[in-house]
């Protein structure tokens, strides 16, 4: 490993820590002698789960905090005295209790909140507003988990399907659950599950994500300008926290749907809890009961995913947890002497330790193993072929949060990852033989890389209305012997309690690249950046306005510009490659636009309305004659509505609607005929026009959901009716030119029509 690169990272790490410490430590020590402090965890009173994003406020003061990903909060520099501490969280009763906070002492309180049967709108809005005054949170959206569970597709609630209804988040089609965020491709999104990276977050065909919503406690999507804590990606961060489990009672839930069924169990163990949930399709089982025509065989297809977590308290200041995640997709098809098989899966195992040193320092250490594999094999009349690839990631990272005062906080950390990339391609006809090296018929590659990074950032409330956050991330990649510096800064100025302006700027680098086909992701292959290509780079510029135009309604207006360099596009003409430069074209891109987002989180009627105006252009010397073109997933206009209505304790209704500009496709200018000697007709070929220069018709869809709560055999149960694509608008998936006949015809492959489904959910 290059010693100079490591030294640069370590020097940057200590510099990021030393700067804020030197500025504030002496002043802090003087203040604390005459001040009080309070810290602790906010906990669900029914399950014992820690609660992410709960607000804690000292009544009649401007002092407050919001719990972090571990459910922890701290408030420092409090004048001694008696205070009413107010705690609130969406869907829970307000907690109010008086505490005496003494000079020079830390008061530790762990507070339990009870779930509320009635939404209390004013309480949450008022409490959150006081804490939000000090938050910068550029382009960040926290989607309530209950909203995710209420949105159904084919009877299934799905995380990615819900996120696709946010402005600025696009998909390549209605069948895809891949997220294109503000002009970035899905591989430019950092997807974290309990702090560990997941490399393939969707199931085969992309219709459903790999995350079972029963296992999710908190979801945070940052669409741009994200903190220095996160690195290695260009566009966005999706940070998912799994449930810890019920610390007080054993309970379970089971759901039977049309597409799949799922079950979850949780309960107390030792000085903590456990959680286990699983989901499986059963099309492959039902298929065995269907009479099959040998001339038109039905493929075997199925997937499953499994989530698990164990959490233990080692003391009042120490928590440890072990998380696991498995997913697997299997497809098998055979006809007329041809047999095909495909397996795709994720394996994730992580351990986390959180420790409270004192009221000012909170640390998290995370060690993880993440593996994504893709195996495709076939047999055509005895001639075998195989493609097998995987990425394995071993990561250790440690973060420390320093709550210096109500005006100043800092966060810093280090991260080191060891990557192993494996790729096997065997077209020798015998897959039992071991392919060595690279040849026209076989390729056997093993690439290893080490990535080390350090970051530091601080947030400073300069004045009552002005807050600034600045950070620096330094990265070193061993394979390419490359050091990069990612400075980031954001600011917030609050003109009134209901009107604020925010801005952010930052540099982001990405070393990993995903080789994927444009129309499907069967053979996704992750590759590192080597010496033959430069690392990808993005610069984000964001201006945001947040306000409350009506009571209980939040309005965000974002303008963004994103400049991307050294991004990649797969070279579909390459038959084999020894270097990354042989696999990809390297070029540049720009994305810019504006978003409007109105959200109402509270009350019987809640949801959001969003509109995005976006533009994306790409330029590659080897594509489209070197001229700029828009990607396939570019959609200029994007309008979305999500609504949930809780009529009473029994009935809940939901609706979602979107309208988007049609996706781009490549047209044709003419056709010519190719034929071998002796052939009279041959095959027709079209001459393509400008790359993705035409558009399909606009895309729009309405989905409705109704759920009824009742008791079945004394157990809480829910009957769910879901109507997908209510007015049966069959959008176009792919448009192509049929040249098999003498005349050329334009043909469309359309998506599924109206799909009504029912499902039953039982808690025990």
573 class by beta-carbon count within 10 Å (0-12 exposed, 13-18 middle, 19+ buried): exposed
**Any residues with CB less than 8 A from the CB of 219 and at least 6 apart, and which?**
142, 143, 145, 148, 159, 163, 238, 239, 240, 241
Q: What are 63's two structure tokens?
A: 């002092």
Q: How far separated are the first and last CA of the chain, in Å rounded?
A: 54
Identify any residues that bridge with 165 across adjacent strands, giving them in sequence order: none
Q: Measured at the alpha carbon of residue 68, what is the angle toward residues 62 and 69, in degrees to the nearest 5?
A: 160
Helix (H, G, I), strand (E, B) or coil at 294: coil
Position 30 scores a pLDDT of 39
Confirm or reject CATH 2.60.40.1120 for domain 34-132, answering yes or no. yes
The whole-angstrom distance between residue 238's C-alpha and the CA centroid of its chain comes to 3
* Residue 715 CB partners (closer than 8 Å, separation 6+): 762, 763, 764
Pairwise CA distance, residues 272 & 759, whole Å? 32
Same fold, 34-132 and 236-763: no
What pLDDT sits at residue 576? 60
364 Cβ contact partners less than 8 Å away, ≥ 6 residues apart: 70, 195, 352, 353, 354, 398, 399, 400
- What's 117's DSSP letter? S
Alpha helices in 87-172 (DSSP H): 121-132, 145-150, 159-163
E strand or H helix that includes residue 255: strand 251-256
CATH class entry, domain 236-763? mainly beta
Indicate the SS3 state at residue 626.
Answer: helix
Low-confidence ranges of the chain (pLDDT < 50): 1, 13, 15-21, 23-31, 119-120, 122-125, 435-438
Closest-CA residue to 279 (of 254, 249, 316): 254
CA distance linking residue 498 with residue 64, whole number of Å: 18
**C-alpha span between 476 and 455 (Å, rounded):** 12
Nearest to 593 by CA among 642, 537, 635, 627: 635
Q: Please state, in angstroms and rounded to a whole number, the distance separating the CA atoms of residues 597 and 602.
A: 16
> Does residue 147 contact residue 159 with C-beta atoms inside 8 Å?
no
Side by side, the strands of the sheet bearing 189-193 are: 140-142, 216-222, 236-242, 189-193, 196-197
DSSP 152: E
Rounded Cα distance between 510 and 50, Å, is 33
Specify the pLDDT at position 679. Answer: 61
- Can you give the residue ranges of every domain in the chain? 34-132, 236-763
Strand blocks (E) in 336-405: 338-356, 361-380, 383-402
- Quote the DSSP letter at residue 59: T
Q: In the prediction, which pLDDT does 364 show?
A: 92
Supply the pLDDT for residue 117.
60
Tokens 């997941």 belong to 198
150 Cβ partners below 8 Å, 6+ apart? 157, 644, 652, 654, 705, 707
CA 148/CA 158 separation, integer angstroms: 7
User: Given this model, what pLDDT does residue 125 score?
Assistant: 46
What are the structure tokens assigned to 399, written together?
Answer: 């973060």
Can you spell out the DSSP letters for 194-253?
TTEE-S--B-GGGSSBS--GGGEEEEEEE-SS--TT--S-SSEEEEEEE----SS--EEE
- How far is the C-alpha of 72 from the C-alpha of 67, rounded, in Å? 5
Report how far Cα 704 is from the mean position of its chain's Cα atoms: 25
Q: Tell me, what's the pLDDT at 703?
A: 92
CA distance 154 to 152: 6
Q: CA Rg, the chain, in Å?
A: 27
* Structure confidence at residue 197 (pLDDT): 93
pLDDT for 134:
57
By CB atoms closer than 10 A (0-12, 13-18, 19+), residue 567 is: buried
Count CB-CB contacts under 10 A for residue 391. Answer: 25
CA distance 452 to 11: 13
Check if the beta carbon of residue 409 is closer than 8 Å to that of residue 360: no
């Amino acid at each position: 490993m290059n010693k100079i690169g490591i030294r640069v990272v370590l020097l940057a790490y200590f510099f990021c820590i030393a700067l804020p410490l030197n500025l504030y430590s002496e002043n802090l020590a003087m203040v604390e002698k005459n001040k009080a402090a309070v810290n602790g965890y906010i906990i669900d009173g029914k399950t014992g789960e820690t609660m992410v994003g709960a607000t804690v406020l000292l009544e009649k003061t401007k002092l407050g905090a919001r719990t972090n990903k571990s459910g922890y909060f701290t408030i420092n520099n409090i004048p001694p005295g008696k205070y009413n501490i107010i705690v609130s969280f969406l869907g829970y009763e307000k907690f109010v209790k008086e505490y005496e906070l003494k000079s020079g002492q830390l008061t530790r309180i762990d507070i339990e909140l009870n779930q509320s049967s009635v939404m209390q709108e004013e309480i949450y809005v008022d409490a959150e507003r006081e804490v939000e005054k000090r938050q910068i949170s550029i382009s960040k959206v926290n989607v309530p988990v209950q909203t995710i569970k209420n949105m159904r597709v084919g009877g299934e609630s799905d995380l990615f399907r819900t996120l696709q209804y946010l402005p600025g988040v696009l998909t390549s089609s209605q069948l895809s659950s891949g997220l294109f965020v503000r002009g970035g491709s899905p591989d430019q999104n950092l997807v974290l599950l309990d702090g560990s990276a997941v490399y393939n977050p969707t199931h085969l065909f992309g219709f459903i994500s790999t995350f079972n919503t029963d296992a999710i406690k908190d979801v945070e999507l940052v669409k741009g300008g994200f903190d220095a804590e996160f690195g290695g990606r260009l566009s966005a961060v999706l940070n998912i926290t799994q449930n810890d489990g019920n610390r007080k009672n054993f309970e379970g839930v089971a759901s039977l749907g049309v597409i799949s069924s799922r079950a979850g169990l949780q309960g107390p163990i030792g000085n903590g809890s456990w959680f286990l949930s699983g989901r499986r399709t059963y099309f492959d089982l039902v298929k065995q009961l269907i009479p099959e025509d040998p001339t038109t065989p039905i493929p075997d297809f199925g997937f499953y995913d499994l989530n698990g977590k164990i959490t233990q308290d080692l003391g009042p200041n120490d928590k440890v947890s072990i998380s696991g995640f498995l997913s697997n997709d299997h497809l098998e098809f055979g006809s007329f002497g041809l047999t095909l098989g495909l397996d795709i899966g994720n394996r994730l195992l992580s351990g986390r330790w959180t420790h409270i040193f004192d009221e000012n320092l909170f640390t998290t250490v995370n060690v993880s193993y993440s593996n994504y594999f893709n195996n495709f094999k076939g047999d055509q009349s005895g001639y075998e072929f195989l493609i097998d690839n995987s990425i394995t990631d071993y990561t250790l990272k440690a973060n420390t949060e320093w709550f210096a005062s109500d005006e100043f906080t800092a966060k810093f950390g280090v991260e080191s990852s060891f990557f192993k990339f494996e790729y096997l391609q065997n077209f020798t006809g015998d897959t039992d033989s071991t392919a060595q090296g690279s040849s026209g018929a076989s390729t056997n590659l093993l690439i290893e890389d080490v990535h080390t990074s350090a970051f530091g950032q601080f947030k400073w409330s300069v004045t009552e209305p002005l807050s600034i956050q600045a950070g620096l991330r330094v990265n070193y990649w061993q394979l390419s012997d490359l050091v990069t510096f990612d400075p980031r800064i954001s600011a917030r100025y609050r003109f009134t309690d209901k009107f604020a302006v925010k801005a952010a700027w930052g540099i982001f680098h990405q070393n990993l690249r995903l080789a994927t086909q444009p129309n499907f992701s069967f053979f996704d292959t992750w590759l590192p950046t080597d010496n033959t290509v430069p690392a990808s780079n993005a610069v984000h510029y964001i201006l945001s306005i947040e306000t409350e135009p009506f009571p209980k309604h939040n309005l965000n207006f974002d303008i963004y510009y994103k400049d991307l360099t050294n991004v990649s596009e797969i070279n579909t003409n390459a038959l084999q490659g020894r270097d990354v430069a042989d696999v990809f074209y390297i070029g540049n891109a720009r994305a810019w636009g504006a978003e409007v987002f109105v959200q109402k989180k509270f009350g019987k009627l809640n949801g959001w309305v969003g509109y995005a105006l976006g533009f994306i252009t790409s330029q590659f010397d080897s594509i489209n004659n070197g001229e700029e073109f828009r990607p396939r997933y570019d959609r200029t206009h994007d309008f979305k509505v999500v609504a949930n209505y809780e009529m009473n304790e029994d009935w809940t209704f939901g609706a979602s609607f979107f309208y988007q500009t049609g996706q781009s496709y490549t047209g044709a200018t003419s056709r010519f005929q190719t034929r071998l000697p002796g052939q009279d007709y041959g095959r027709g070929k079209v001459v393509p026009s400008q790359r993705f220069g035409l558009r399909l018709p606009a895309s729009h869809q309405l989905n409705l959901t109704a759920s009824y709560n009742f008791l079945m055999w004394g157990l809480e149960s829910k009957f769910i009716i879901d109507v997908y694509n209510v007015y049966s608008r069959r959008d176009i998936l792919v448009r192509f030119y049929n040249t098999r006949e003498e005349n050329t015809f334009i043909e469309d492959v359309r998506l599924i029509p109206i799909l009504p489904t029912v499902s039953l959910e039982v808690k025990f």
